[in-house]
A = this chain, B = another copy of it.
Amino acid sequence: MSTSQDISDREEGLAFQPKFDASGLVTCVATDAASGDVLMVAHMNEEALRKTIASGEAWYFSRSRDALWRKGETSGQTQRVVEMRMDCDQDAVWIRVEQQGAACHTGRRSCFYRAVTGSNGDTRLSFVDAERLFDPTKVYRK
């Protein structure tokens, strides 16, 4: 159980003590260092965090593939980390990156290529900034 001293240390201290969830992960938000746009939301385990810090390139942990993953290792669409920040309770990191090409596996620059609009229960999506920079059927084929 966390005491208030633990919480104060984690929030106000300068020790790097990521708070991993039950699966051993923290949430990572990657934004475009140039535009400020959110490119993707993903997860890092201890090893992904360590490799990202050591290499200056983004590494993640894929929950669906249950595997460590260097961003761009298949697609070539790497992320160079310009700055990494930790949030108040140390369960989320924000990286500002220089994105090579497209961050999204669908070929778009950002995973957030649809806006949410609606009212009165009629909520819909609409494409925005949704042009593809690569063809995923070509990049990811075996």
Contacts and interface: CB of A to CB of B under 8 A. Distances in A.
B126 A83 contact: no
A67 interface: no
User: How many copies make up the complex?
Assistant: 2
A76 to B, nearest CB: 19
A113 B111 CA distance: 25
Contacts of A128: 85
A75 interface: no
10 contacts: A12-B106, A13-B125, A14-B126, A38-B85, A41-B94, A50-B121, A53-B123, A54-B120, A85-B116, A88-B113
Given A11-B106, A36-B36, 11 more contacts: A14-B124, A14-B126, A16-B124, A29-B41, A38-B38, A40-B87, A50-B121, A53-B119, A86-B115, A87-B111, A87-B112
